[in-house]
Structure 1
Amino acid sequence: MTLPRTPSFRLDGRRALVTGASSGIGLGCAVALAEAGAHVVCAARGEGRLQDAVDEMTTAGLAVEPLVLDMADLDALTAALTAQGAFDVVVNSAGLARHSAALETTPEDYDAVMGINQRAAHFLSVGAAQGMKSARKRGSIIHISSQMGHVGGIDRSVYAASKHGLEGMVKAMAIEWGPLGIRVNTICPTFIRTPLGEQTLSNPERRAWIEEKIKLGRVGEIEDVMGAVVYLASDASLMVTGSALMIDGGWTAD
């Protein structure tokens, strides 16, 4: 008998791009991929905070480099992807939320959220896939979506719409790019304790709603996402595409 072997979760020799990498979930993803052996290009809009994050990761012995990039600028995004060459892994953690009651939504807020969460996500994926195809790389594209891509939420009509759209986009791209060996998936966290998340968690009424919905009885931590991104980036998930990995503590199990 020949025993099966567990596919490797290591990413040695691979290049990864992580957007939104200067803080929160994006920073956690960058650290996780680098710890698994990848060389990680850390992209974010704010140069100062990005450099601080990269310096700390470098001090920890991780192979990373900064890339100042505004995802809303599609010309800059295209130029950066062209200059960087093909990646093996692309993680899109850049996102925008402007929460308000649906009756109070402004066109400006709607366009801003959709511009990052859908428009930029679409063309980042296209540029990444074009690079992988040209280099004949079997790559993995991972979007940080949200449980709100599968349910609705208070004051989140635009945000939920953007994430529902992202989920559909990923499924369509997975179908198109599967024959190329390019996998596309999402990670869908619940509320995670980040500086952005604290804006909601600090509201007692919203916090009670969140804790009632999360069956495991606690909000998420950045570390709860880190293993998932390594899995989807690695050979351990070679048969996974067009899927949403829920990290929601059972929120969507109802």
Structure 2
Amino acid sequence: MNRSFAGRRALITGAGRGIGRGAAIALASAGAEVTLVSRTRSELEEVAETIRLNGGCASVAPADVSDPAELEAVFEGLGAQPADILVTAAGINRPGPLVEVPVENMAAIVEVNVLGTLWACRAFAKRVIPGGQPAAVVTLSSQMGTVGYPGRAPYCASKHAVNGLTKALALEWAPQRIRVNAVAPTFVKTALTEPMFRDEQFLQTVLSRIPAGRLGEVDDVVGAICFLLSDEASLITGHILAVDGGWTAQ
């Protein structure tokens, strides 16, 4: 089926790297006008240039998702035509034994992964609901939002929270025709995760937990995001779509 987002306006947080970057490029290539959000302007400009070179339409809006005022300003800057697609891909992790993780690292995980998602969803809905048009949100969760993993307690807690937020907002906004779903990937190969997979023992431990026998690719997750945002998923809301090669089926 030919999936088109022509005439749609999408805002993607965490758009400078990894899954957020991939989602932005995919949505733009399918016709959406995209607004790219992250803290690092240079990364956003690179993504925007890639999109424009391929005939797409992109603008950049540097902001810290953990600051609700900055996010409000980004959404206000969209003007009279609000975004009708939101992808919240901004996220961080600071692994380590809980008793050794600095308090500021734990706070940062909650501020970005949980509150950053909440602030973005809130700012999005405030501008979509008055217009009455249908809209779709995909939050970025993780397999760690369903299971636990040693050395990642704050991260696991944050992604469990994202799952709860996703389900609650799906119910709250269903009457306004706003669908809210999440994708929950396994370990995905990105520039940020590459260093951890240089540890062969860790890599083999991870692979042993994935029945499909491989790490995730950005495109695996992007495909799921685009499906959930599309009209093909018009009756799907409140769902956490695992993209984990079977990890959480065990």
Aligned-pair CA distance for 1:196: 1.4
| Aligned amino acid, residue 63 of structure 1 | C
Q: Which deviations, in whole Å up to 9, do the C-alpha atoms of 1:158-209 show, x marking residues without a partner?
A: 0000000110111111111011100111011111110111132122221111
Distance 1:222 1:81 in 2: 26
Are 2:3 and 1:19 equivalent residues in the alignment?
no
Matching of residues 12-51 of structure 1 within 5 Å: 12-51=6-45
| Aligned amino acid, residue 155 of structure 1 | G
Distance 1:188 1:154 in 2: 18
Q: TM-score, normalised by structure 2?
A: 0.96
2:94 is matched with 98
- Count of residues in Structure 1 that have an aligned counterpart in Structure 2: 248
1:119 to 96, 115, 120: 115
2:163 is matched with 167
1:80 to 74, 92, 97: 74
Q: TM-score, normalised by structure 1?
A: 0.94
| Aligned amino acid, residue 14 of structure 2 | G
Question: SS of the residue aligned with 1:226?
Answer: helix
Q: Give 5+ residue unaligned stretches, structure 2.
A: none
Counterpart contact for 1:33–1:229, Cα < 8 Å: no
Distance 1:20 1:190 in 2: 18
| Aligned amino acid, residue 25 of structure 2 | V
2:128 is matched with 132
| Aligned amino acid, residue 101 of structure 2 | T
Task: Give the share of equivalent positions with the same residue, in percent.
Answer: 36
Q: Which deviations, in whole Å up to 9, do the C-alpha atoms of 1:26-68 show, x marking residues without a partner?
A: 1110011112211111111111121112112211222211111
Runs of 4 or more off by more than 2 Å in structure 1? none
2:182 to 172, 186, 211: 186
Q: Give 5+ residue unaligned stretches, structure 1.
A: 1-5
| Aligned amino acid, residue 146 of structure 1 | S
2:233 is matched with 237
Over the residues paired in the alignment, what is the CA RMSD in angstroms?
Answer: 1.2
Counterpart contact for 2:18–2:218, Cα < 8 Å: yes
Distance 2:173 2:208 in 1: 39
| Aligned amino acid, residue 109 of structure 1 | N
